[in-house]
Chain A
């Protein structure tokens, strides 16, 4: 994998911030977009923009073909057996809410248990809290161990015949941990429950095969995997989707409508009410093509190397505390850390002065922050376009923050360059 070549595909990486080259280390929040995706959007709006599934004219047919073609690409990307399994949504949050409303409201009853984990993003906590409050269901949470991994022993205790759903992040957006979701899927199924995976962080960064994992639902965002904002998808097993009532009602999701009732469309359109975000779904298709041309194993390998390098160089700094597993084999490239008593927001502000973009805050994980005993962390996260040089810049910039706040500065070797 040629990173220098890949970087040329991302126009934004040529930008300067505050007079310094942009060092973008926040891909866990959203990824940058390659020319192929930007051009797919441009091409759509310039040459064949029309409402899909509607017009009997060439433009609409072309738009429909490209939109449905994007669905086929996503299907192949995650190894789904049927295209009917892929529902286009705005983002992971909407995908999870779709399941919470459509599946949850007809399958969760009083006293049923929903098993989550302590490291979930708010988007995989709050929809279930709302559902549980409405139905009188019970939420249980698999604990996170001190090393940042899930307590699988506890998971075995928590997943019982009372469990109806296990909803778990495939890869933590804070700790980077890749959770043993295949094992959790087996536990869930053995108990007669189903499993939903929050794939927001895993799908962009590693090969994910829904049949191999045997997950019942998988939610993911396009914008974290090189695709436009506002694109995302839900994968669901066809039998489950068939049995579920619709989510949103309106155009396109119906077959016939009378004044007082309606019959519904086939999958996947039953869950796509109203004019869809066709251009961005087509952009998602282009992003999938781009990622497949490089290969997800190559992407994962590159990020594993970067992660190992960053864990090493950051870990050597005095006063740096890294939250999450140290083994790059069981984690992705989102690294949360604290630096002395410099608050993450101050850190991010000072790094911005050096052109370095990192995330600072609670990362939409209040409960996990409480568990870690911090109010916020700084987070650097990597993607296929990042380099070891950029991690060196991060480390050097931390030195500047340290000087300002009186934290011991990095070793002279790291601080002296540039």
Chain B
């Protein structure tokens, strides 16, 4: 197999897909935003709670492919309890990485799947701060 499928479906992706972290709803929440990828039908609902310039907590639920759901799960671990400017920095660097990253670039259709949670988070933060 010349496509690095094993690289795409790494152990860590499958682990987060099967046992998602921070899954569910968050109450109370500062903002609840839904994101979807019309091409694939991936869906995600993201709740965020902001406190004193910090992303205090967040939770997601949704359905979609392993890449979209694992990406959401991994994202929640990466951004939880971080200062908002740190979070924005992570969003920017994740987006940059997706457009430069070798493995996902071999699967261009899947970039949108991987980005869904992150673009939804960006929207949730905008809504929460407005």
Contact = CB atoms under 8 A, between A and B. Distances in A.
Interface of A: 18-19, 343-346, 349-350, 352-354, 360-362, 369, 375-376, 404-406
B111 interface: no
Interface size classification for chain B:
20 to 34
B55 to A, nearest CB: 27
A404 B41 contact: no
A369 B38 CA distance: 13
13 contacts: A19-B1, A343-B64, A343-B65, A343-B66, A345-B40, A345-B67, A349-B5, A352-B3, A353-B5, A354-B1, A361-B39, A361-B40, A361-B41
A369 B1 contact: no
Interface in B3-50: 3, 5, 8-9, 14, 18, 39-43
A404 to B, nearest CB: 6
3 A-B pairs closest in CB distance: A345-B65, A343-B65, A376-B41
B43 A345 contact: no
A362 B41 contact: yes
B130 interface: no
B82 interface: no
Contacts of A18: 1-3
B40 A353 contact: no
A405 B70 CA distance: 13
Nearest to A404: B9
Contact of B14 (A344, A353, A369, A405): A405
* Most B-side CB within 10 Å, residue of A345, A352, A354: A345
Nearest to B8: A349
Contacts of B107: 349
A353 B65 contact: no
Contacts of A345: 40, 42, 64-65, 67, 110, 113
A404 B65 contact: no
Per DSSP, chain A at the interface is mixed
Given A361-B41, A375-B63, A376-B41, 19 more contacts: A18-B1, A18-B2, A18-B3, A19-B1, A19-B2, A345-B67, A345-B113, A346-B66, A346-B67, A349-B8, A350-B9, A353-B3, A353-B5, A354-B1, A360-B40, A376-B40, A404-B14, A405-B14, A406-B18
Contacts of A361: 39-41
B115 to A, nearest CB: 14
B6 to A, nearest CB: 9
Contacts, number: 49
A345 B107 CA distance: 12
A404 B65 CA distance: 14
Contacts of A352: 3
Most B-side CB within 10 Å, residue of A344, A360, A376: A376
Contacts of A404: 9, 14
Contacts of B65: 343-346
Interface string B50-68: 0000000000000111110
Contacts of A406: 18
Given A362-B41, A375-B41, A350 B5 contact: yes
Contacts of B5: 349-350, 353
A344 B110 CA distance: 13
A242 B107 CA distance: 50
B43 A349 contact: no
Given A343-B66, A345-B65, A352-B3, A375 B110 contact: no
Contacts of A362: 41
A349 B110 contact: yes
A95 B86 CA distance: 52
B2 A375 contact: no
Nearest to A344: B65
Contacts of B8: 349
B39 A353 contact: no
Contacts of B64: 343, 345, 375
Contacts of A349: 5, 8, 107, 110
A405 B40 CA distance: 19
A360 B65 CA distance: 10
Interface in B76-124: 107, 110, 113
A376 B107 CA distance: 19
Nearest to B69: A343
A100 to B, nearest CB: 22
A406 to B, nearest CB: 8
Nearest to A355: B1
B95 to A, nearest CB: 21
A405 B42 CA distance: 18
B42 A353 contact: no
Contacts of B9: 346, 350, 404
A218 to B, nearest CB: 29
Contacts of B39: 361
A404 B14 CA distance: 9
